[in-house]
Amino acid sequence: MKKITRQGLDVLVFDQLNHQLKLSHGLSLRHQIDPFNQKTIDFNFSSDTPKRSLKHQQWFCKALALDFNQRVRVQQVHDNHIINANHPTTNIEKADGVVTNQPGCNVMLIGADCPLIIVYDPSQHAVGLAHAGWRSSVKGISEKLIDSMQSEFNCDPEHCLAGIGPGICGDCFEVGQEVVDAVQQNSPNDQDLFKPHNDRWHFDLIEFNYRQLLRSGLKESKVEKSGYCTFEENELFYSYRRDGQTAGRWALMAGLL
């Protein structure tokens, strides 16, 4: 993953996906320079600041050369429901994943520690995004994303390219017994992703979703991890675990051209 500048805005892009001429994608960063007054601002997508959020969404869309009025949003609820976005809509559904094969449906998810995942099939020209919090992940959100792209668009996992965005890393993500129990119930072969930490556990959520993508048939060489920890990188990302209720949100967006 690398940082590039478009329309005066710094964004992160995945290396392999950045070479796909019919796909535009990017992940926003926290601190930006406002082009109007050259001051550092918090580039925030949080609904707590709706006017500023909309302004930043417009700026972000412009940087990615995507139409702000054609974006698709969902209400993320930490589950595994995935919708097929056939057209832009203001009717926001409850979902943690979106798939589309329609140019002009510019899909966007937000995060503040949970990894955001993008999958693109260049052969079928279809893209999917997933919000992979621990609750969504133990319900197989990454595997279900691939299943949806297969059933909706006849995608072949071996042709797909994927990126796992920044998220809280396994050395920082402290969880309780309820997460251990949920993984044991739903994915017992992944218990090795827990490490004891005092009377709790550290859990590698990013590796957990990486394994799900591989189990779904994606090739290791086509799945890219960002390498960023949102908890550790205060200058680059918001973090709910670090900042609490006041944490802002960053965004992952993708559109077919």
Nearest to 18 by CA among 104, 88, 122, 94: 122
SS3 190: helix
Count Cβ atoms below 10 Å from residue 31 Cβ, excluding itself: 13
What local confidence, expressed as pLDDT, does residue 48 receive?
Answer: 79
SS3 120: strand
CA atoms within 13 A on the CB side of 216: 28
Outline where the chain has alpha helix (H). 15-18, 50-63, 134-138, 141-153, 177-186, 205-215, 240-243
Gap between the Cα atoms of 63 and 57, Å rounded: 10
Topology adopted by domain 2-155+163-168+225-256:
CNF1/YfiH-like putative cysteine hydrolases (3.60.140)
Cβ proximity of 106 and 70 under 8 Å: yes
Segment 105-153, tens digit of pLDDT: 999 999 999 999 999 999 999 999 999 999 999 999 999 999 999 999 9
What local confidence, expressed as pLDDT, does residue 90 receive?
Answer: 62
What local confidence, expressed as pLDDT, does residue 180 receive?
Answer: 97
What local confidence, expressed as pLDDT, does residue 97 receive?
Answer: 97
What local confidence, expressed as pLDDT, does residue 35 receive?
Answer: 74
Statement: the pTM of the whole predicted model exceeds 0.85: yes
Residues facing 97 on adjacent strands: 82, 130
Cβ proximity of 146 and 80 under 8 Å: no
Segment 177-198, tens digit of pLDDT: 999 999 999 999 999 999 999 9
Give the residues of the chain that fall short of pLDDT 70.
90-91
What local confidence, expressed as pLDDT, does residue 91 receive?
Answer: 67
